[in-house]
Chain A
Amino acid sequence: MSQAPMETSCPYYTLPASSFWRQAVAERNVEDLDPHLPSTLLFTRETRIASAGSCFAQHISRALQSRGYNYFLTEQAPGFLTPEQKEQHSFGVFSARYGNIYTTLQLLQLARRAFGDFEPVDQFWTDSKGRVFDLLRPRIAPQGFASMTEAIADAKQHLKAVRKLIETTDVFIFTLGLTECWVSKADDTVYPTCPGCGSAGEYDSSKYEFRNLSVAETTGYLCEAVDRMVAANPKIQIILTVSPVPLVATMEPRHVLQATTYSKSVLRVAAEEVVRRCSNVHYFASYEIITGARTAGTYIGKDGRTITPDGVARAMDVFFAHFTDEGSNLSDRVASQAAAPQVTSYGSAEPRIVCDEDDFYRALAASRPK
């Protein structure tokens, strides 16, 4: 019996060019590199799109708004506020005023709170001037709330807006940012930052503890969050992406580079697990676009952490190319960026990104003895 020719028996011969490093990566220009296959999800300018996540997620919300998509805001700014006032009070930064959501546990607890299934024991903190801060959204009110009554009432309205968002949005984009987090010893409430470290609150080791979520925890919390959202809104489509921004600091007793690799690996695996399990969950490869071996030198700044405007613009262009009908215009957009490299594709030369981590780092640097 004769052996069949290798061409017909080896399954790799049936694969597209995107499956091979040489054709898909090595032989492509950096600015053309696109680590996606055609998406099964396409949205239009009428589709309601909500988003949440870490600092990097703000690029997505800004891009959606500036490109004229229906960025779904369920916590609207009052009329006649100036753009500065809107930004100060975090209106329009995300679909609701939840601030940055770094961990999957934070996302899950937000969803549980929105549906009345979880009420944190330790949520509000009053400073020496009597201003009240919501530790779950420490930057929402820049000077704090004027009273506890206002803080509680605002949180109630906020959760109502989150519930509306979950129940009625068509698409929800979530950017996974961190695995390291701080939780309350009383009830496992997770905070976006360590209380008292560069933000509101007072650090108290008897009340708060550090936790670095495992793959199983990160995936489990994400699955539960997705399940809750789908239960409330069966038509919802969810896009997951992993922030390419490295950790600003780690609490683990090891090098921050190792800690970053661990954290991003866990997040990437968790996203993959959930995409495999749920047909209405999709993945956007912002992490790969920015940190890929061929692109990192172009899209990451000299500090090895800051994403350059070109990197952000490229990630956003790829995002819109795959999830909308903008794909046909992508090459034109790339050309126009080359002509004006200082300006990102969504209008602002240096959009201000609200990042709790950076504030923490600045506060830490300022408080260290010289």
Chain B
Amino acid sequence: MQPEVETVLPVYIVGDSHSLPYRNMVFREKWTGAWVMARSKYIPSLTAHDFFDPTTGDFHSEFIGFLEYEGLVRAGRATHLSMNEVDFAIAKAAGQPVRPPLILVAVGEIDVRGPIMRVLKNTHDFVPPFATSLPLLDKPLVPWDVIEEAIEERLGPFVAGLQQLIAAGFKRIYVQSVVPPTRKEERIRELQRYDCPVTVRTKLVQAFNWKMAAKIRSINLTMLDNWSDLTDGGLLRPEFDFDGVHLPPKGARIYLEALIDDAINPRGLVANHPRHELYYRLACGLDPFQVTAPSAT
């Protein structure tokens, strides 16, 4: 009897250290029961600002290296669009999906904690242009326009890079929102060498996510933001504070499940047709997107 072979839905997760909690994550998604596997790449110190250089058109070298290693890019082109026989052969051997691969990018936390938060430190607060449950402290204000300008400056190259990826055929890219910061003041002091009250830094992350969500939406991508699952009273729930910076794997799992829900459910369960199967069905004159009924056992 031939052993049963199950297909696996890979999700390519790449970014700063917030990609680490996804490492080796495997679970069955709830829609079809198929396996989901996180294939992650941690790029040390990756920021939104350094993700892509609009002046040269170059991506961060390790990002491109990851796409090449995973077989998503070969010879400078997206392999899932290639009509090259070599790419078909690779796809067949690897079970590579015909659709654009699911990619999750995690950047932004370093941008917030570095060049933006230092404008506020422990001396200032700000008023974002959206409703927030976080209080306004009795401190001098940094004008929202200054905060917004700083966020725009960090996000600009990232969004330009995403647009390049879309143009190259990677249309199923997700962006992870920046996770709520720790409540622990001493951890921020240790990391930043200055204080910044938890309500101010949390509000700053909200503001960054608010701007990033709008930009991601404007280029028809999706930002995953599970803020309400991770917070209580507007602040990070202690059980999701892994080390004062990152989520524990169970927090990352929430994001990944949100990605799967978005990728599979509204798109008619066609997330992961193996490409070689598609090629075969096309050759036989069959509808390549006809979902095969599971065989009775």
Contacts and interface: CB of A to CB of B under 8 A. Distances in A.
A154 B118 contact: no
A75 B145 contact: no
Interface string A34-77: 00000000000000000000000000000000000000000110
Contacts of B148: 146
Given A76-B140, A79-B118, A145-B144, A153 B124 contact: no
Nearest to B130: A147
Contacts of A79: 118-119, 121, 123
Interface residues of A, number: 20
B127 A153 contact: yes
Given A89-B143, A143-B145, A146-B144, A78 B127 contact: no
A205 interface: no
B133 to A, nearest CB: 13
B192 to A, nearest CB: 12
Given A146-B129, A150-B129, A153-B136, A78 B145 contact: no
A61 B143 CA distance: 23
A85 B146 contact: yes
B140 A150 contact: no
A8 interface: no
B90 interface: no
Given A150-B127, A153-B127, A80 B145 contact: no
A4 interface: no
Given A75-B140, A150-B141, A154-B141, A81 B127 contact: no
A161 B140 contact: yes
Interface in A144-185: 145-147, 149-150, 153-154, 157, 161
A150 B119 contact: no
A269 interface: no
Interface of B: 115, 118-121, 123-124, 126-129, 136, 139-146, 148-149
Given A78-B120, A85-B146, A157-B140, 14 more contacts: A78-B119, A80-B115, A80-B118, A80-B119, A81-B146, A89-B145, A89-B146, A145-B143, A145-B144, A146-B145, A147-B129, A149-B127, A153-B127, A153-B136
B119 A154 contact: no
A275 interface: no
A78 B125 CA distance: 10
Contacts of B126: 150
Contacts of A232: none
B203 to A, nearest CB: 13
A81 B119 CA distance: 7
A20 B133 CA distance: 71
Nearest to B121: A79
Interface in A61-113: 75-76, 78-81, 85, 89
Contacts of A141: 143, 145
30 contacts: A78-B119, A78-B120, A78-B123, A78-B124, A78-B140, A78-B142, A78-B146, A79-B118, A80-B115, A81-B119, A85-B149, A89-B146, A141-B143, A141-B145, A142-B145, A143-B145, A145-B143, A146-B129, A147-B127, A147-B129, A150-B126, A150-B141, A150-B143, A153-B136, A153-B141, A154-B127, A154-B141, A154-B143, A157-B139, A157-B141
A79 B140 CA distance: 12
Nearest to A140: B143
Contacts of A150: 126-127, 129, 141, 143-144
A150 B146 CA distance: 13
Contacts of B128: 146
Most buried by A among B127, B143, B145, B146: B143
B266 to A, nearest CB: 33
A142 B149 CA distance: 13
Nearest to B143: A89
Contacts of B139: 157
Nearest to B194: A79
A165 to B, nearest CB: 13
Most buried by B among A75, A145, A146: A146
Contacts of B136: 153
Nearest to B144: A146
Contacts of A142: 145
A142 B128 CA distance: 17
A113 B127 CA distance: 22
B138 to A, nearest CB: 8
Q: Which 3 A-B pairs have the closest CB atoms?
A: A150-B127, A146-B129, A146-B144
Contact of B127 (A76, A80, A85, A146): A146
Contacts of A153: 127, 136, 141
A328 to B, nearest CB: 39
Nearest to A148: B127
